[in-house]
Structure formats: C-alpha cells, structure tokens
Amino acid sequence: MTSYHKNDCRTLAQHWARLGKALLYSWAGLRAAWRHEAAFRLEALACLLMIPAAFWLGRSGLERAMLLATLLLVPLTELLNSAIEAAVDRQGQEHHPLAGRAKDLGSAAVLMALLIAGCVWGLLIYERL
C-alpha cells in the first residue's frame, strides 16, 4: 500500500492544474479548427446532425456506441490531418516530396475514417431495412 505525505497533496493539486491547462489547450485547438478549417466545420456539423440518428438507429448500447464512435472518428482524424498540414506549412511553402507525402497521408487517413463510418452506418441501416 502506498503512503501519502504532505507533498502528495501539492502534487495532486499540480495534476489538477495540469489537467485544467490541457483542457484549455484542447478548447483552443477546437476553436482554431472551427475558425480555420472548413472541412472540420462540415464534419462537426454533420456529426451534430447525425447524433440523434445514432440513438434512433442503434438498438443496443453497443450499436449506439459504434455509431457514435465512428461519427467522432471523422472530425478527430480531420484534427490530426490539420495539425500535420499546419506543421508542414510552418516549415515553408516550397514544395518538398516528404511534405507532400505527409499531407497526402493525412488526407488518406481522413478518407479511411469516412469509409469506416460509412461502412458501420451502412451495415446497420441495411440490417434495419
């Protein structure tokens, strides 16, 4: 069993403070994506519109979780793609094969997320018909 000391309370407070800062940074990232990334806005709005459909379409908790997870996978992947693009663009605007490959791979990841979501949603809709 672990024993706790006075310093552990301060450490716990530091962990909470770090968590608070991480949440603020995450919120800033979401705001930046909303402000600067049209694809993210479109995908986020599509998710918001489809969330009620996930609860209606899914017959079990597992089905609803799969529908919601695949919905959220798309904007999550778009955030990662946007981060890659921002980092690559930060290095310069001149064309470099590795920069182009990094951007293409990020875009392919978004496509894969869309395909995964489409397959899960399509299979569950097909099953209901």
DSSP assignment, residue 59?
S
CA angle 32, 34, 36 (to 5 degrees): 65
Q: Is 90 exposed, middle or buried (0-12, 13-18, 19+ CB in 10 A)?
A: exposed
- Helix, strand, or coil (residue 8): helix
Using alpha carbons, list the distances in angstroms from residue 47 to 76, 81, 111.
11, 18, 16
> Active-site residue among 37, 78, 85, 94?
78
The verdict on whether 78 is a catalytic residue reads yes
Write out the catalytic residue numbers. 78
